[in-house]
Amino acid sequence: MTAGLTRDEDDWIGAQSGQRPAARNGVRGACTDTLRVGRSLAVLALSAGVIVACGGSKTPTTASNQATIPAVHLVSPKKPSGASPTTSTAATPSPTTTTTPATGATTPLPTVTVPSDKEFVNAIDHPFSASSPWNTSIVSAAVDPRSSALIAAAQLRLGVKQGSIIESLSLQRRRITAPLYINTIKWTPPVLDADASNAVSTSLLCRQPNLPPPDNLCGDGYLVSTLKIPPATAPYPQYDGWLTVIDAAAGYGYDLWRARRGTAATATMSYQYLRRWSLTGSGYLPPTAPSARGSGLPMFAGIITPEDLQAGVIRHALAISVPGPAALNFVQPASLTDGNGAVTSLPEGARLRLKASVSLASLLREIPGGTNRRASATIYNTLRTYGAIVVDRSAVPTLYAQLTTDWTTPLRDAHGIATAPDGRTELPVSERNNRRFVTPLLRGGEVSGLRLSDFEVIRLPTELKDPPVNAGDTVASLPGASPQALPGGTAATAPAATAAVPGTGAVPLTPSAPATPGP
């Protein structure tokens, strides 16, 4: 349990939803690995006779399992409904630019026009430097000699099984062969725009002592006292209170963990950890540095956005979670791990690439009807060109899409006319506004024709230990772009109490007052 947390605050989400708390200063939460699951056994065992485990993904059921979440307006803690896709009445932005798909070992897509970009769109579509591991192609990268064994081990998910009586509990691993799923409504970060016209100055309040290094339990929170956030927006507490705020003008992205919004009138956001990312940096941290994710990676890196799918090209690696990432071991760009798989399993930070033997045709044959086939092809090409970086653990292999988006918006062509699932054939006039015929931009099953076994592991960099075992485990091991430097350094070099960060308010270096989580 993290210092400064009460037991119920630390345990509640892990027990109720199956998701583990993120790593904090080398200390893990209730569902971290096989050595530290005892505290959760009694609660997990309530699902009698079944294997349960920590996970960052809901298990997919049907292709229409998609809730309508209005853009930049999250209301928590209501449970998302399983609403059917509906037709959007929002105006379609006028196209201004033309984008072509990525080259390399991919399947060509038709050239389409995309709406003009804003700084916010650019910041989440292609964050970090050109040399960042998130933005480098792996088309010709070598395959790790242990690739097959690593993928096989990553399919084994740790769970707890109850026997005939509640006290009879055992740890078991179950092989997960479910297809890939794209999270659009759960365990994916809300991404808010600090430069939105309706954004208001919002006070930030850490629910732990908000001190500078080396005692910064709130991460980078000592640097930031306010952020501009659109009103009436709140994170979902049941999904670890994840929240990302992009301040493109200042050049930073802010990831918050266990965030809670006060009432609209107070304009206050409380949280338990905050990490500030440079949008022009490398997109990863040095070993042992925590973030809002258990792997130490950014929450908003590698997500799928509507602009990506409208353009028909994604210019970065995707974030992926797997059922059984390695315990204790990780590789950069991860800086920590919350894996609970075998120590010889696929480490967090590893990079996966779709095998050359997997064809787009085979993927499209297996996806449900009424699914955006253009989106499937776009994601397929990305997984062949940039691949996916392991960022977390989940119930099934999972990709992530931007949460603050109404993904039920109908698929349209460059002229704004609703199309068939191929993205090109315009629907007859009689069908364009009928939800029986329109195709939503994203359902979640666009890559359900793929399994984890369809991927190969790119040659791993030096494996590091969490917690560190030797001096080498605290030294960055990824060639190319250096990890983002941690602000503040030591207490002796920490900023003065009146220091300020561009785009934020003054910086208090005194402990935060206790805050009651908002709705």
What is the tens place of the pLDDT at every residue in 501-512?
A: 333 333 333 333
pLDDT of 264: 60
Where residue 265 falls among pLDDT bands split at 50, 70, 90? Answer: low
pLDDT of 371: 94
Beta-sheet strands, E only, within 324-428: 329-330, 351-354, 388-393, 398-400
- The residue-averaged pLDDT of 346-373 equals 95
Q: How many CB atoms lie within 10 A of CB 97?
A: 10
- Could you tell me which residue, 422 or 336, shows the higher pLDDT? 336
pLDDT of 333: 98
Where residue 68 falls among pLDDT bands split at 50, 70, 90? Answer: very low
Where residue 23 falls among pLDDT bands split at 50, 70, 90? Answer: very low
pLDDT of 120: 86
Give the three-state DSSP class for 456.
Answer: strand
- Could you tell me how many helices (H) and strands (E) the chain has, helices first? 7, 20
pLDDT of 121: 86
- The residue-averaged pLDDT of 195-220 equals 92
Residue 122 pLDDT > 50: yes
pLDDT of 424: 87
Closest Cα to residue 206, out of 172, 279, 256? 256
Which of 97-101, 251-255, 428-432, 457-461 comes out lowest in average pLDDT? 97-101
Which of 107-121, 235-249, 336-350, 420-434 comes out lowest in average pLDDT? 107-121
Indicate the length of the chain as a whole number.
519
pLDDT of 138: 97
Of the CA atoms within 13 Å of residue 326, those in its CB half-sphere come to 21
Residue-by-residue DSSP string for 260-321: EE--TTTTEEEESEEEEEETTS-S---TT---SSTTS--SSTT-B-HHHHHHT---SPEEEE
Which of 17-21, 321-325, 387-391 comes out lowest in average pLDDT? 17-21
pLDDT of 56: 46
Where residue 33 falls among pLDDT bands split at 50, 70, 90? Answer: very low
Residue 55 pLDDT > 70: no
Residue 519 pLDDT > 60: no
Alpha-carbon gap, residue 477 to 331, rounded angstroms: 8
Where residue 400 falls among pLDDT bands split at 50, 70, 90? Answer: very high
Strands 181-183 and 191-193: unpaired
Residue 415 pLDDT > 60: yes
- The residue-averaged pLDDT of 430-444 equals 89
Residue 156 pLDDT > 50: yes
Q: What percent of the chain has pLDDT over 90?
A: 52
**Which of 24-38, 174-188, 377-391, 422-436 is most confident?**
377-391
Beta-sheet strands, E only, within 266-385: 268-271, 273-278, 318-322, 329-330, 351-354
Where residue 266 falls among pLDDT bands split at 50, 70, 90? Answer: low
Whole-prediction pTM value?
0.75
Which of 5-19, 314-328, 364-378 comes out lowest in average pLDDT? 5-19
Give me the helices (H) in 117-275, please.
119-125, 147-154
Q: What percent of the chain has pLDDT over 70?
A: 70
Task: Round the average pLDDT of the chain to a whole number and report it.
Answer: 76
pLDDT of 64: 36
**Which DSSP symbol is given to 75?**
-
Residue 132 pLDDT > 90: yes
